[in-house]
Amino acid sequence: QKEVEQDPGPLSVPEGAIVSLNCTYSNSAFQYFMWYRQYSRKGPELLMYTYSSGNKEDGRFTAQVDKSSKYISLFIRDSQPSDSATYLCAIGSTSYGKLTFGQGTILTVHP
């Protein structure tokens, strides 16, 4: 079993839709959770970072963490074509900064 599982998609939605991206993890020692967006042939861009269960909102993005279920989600409201990218969840277990990544979900938002 992989430490972090993420549905690779691809996911295709119309502009304006609400997008839900999800990851599950197996190690309860994981303490902090990040979401990155990666455009083709570019490095990942940090979108959200949280370390507690619950919701964290930033603009159109909401990160949700449920530590009891070992489940994290990223919601994108009013999705735009510019949101088309690969979304990676990343999870860490220590303050050292070592991350374990999900496989990435390819999202396409069509006009």
Partner 1 sequence: GAVVSQHPSRVICKSGTSVKIECRSLDFQATTMFWYRQFPKQSLMLMATSNEGSKATYEQGVEKDKFLINHASLTLSTLTVTSAHPEDSSFYICSARVDSAHSGNTIYFGEGSWLTVV
Q: Which residues bind partner 1 (CB under 8 A)?
A: 32, 34, 36, 41-46, 49, 51, 88, 92, 95-104
69 and 82 Cβ atoms separated by less than 8 Å: no
* Residue placing its CB nearer to partner 1 in the complex, 9 or 111: 9
Smallest distance, partner 1 to C-beta of residue 16, A: 27
Smallest distance, partner 1 to C-beta of residue 104, A: 5
93 and 27 Cβ atoms separated by less than 8 Å: yes
**Distance separating alpha carbons of residues 51 and 32, to the nearest angstrom:** 4
Smallest distance, partner 1 to C-beta of residue 59, A: 14
Smallest distance, partner 1 to C-beta of residue 10, A: 10
Taking CA atoms, 92 is separated from 10, 31, 38, in Å, by: 25, 6, 19
* Residue placing its CB nearer to partner 1 in the complex, 79 or 87: 87
Report the alpha-carbon angle 44-20-102, nearest 5: 40
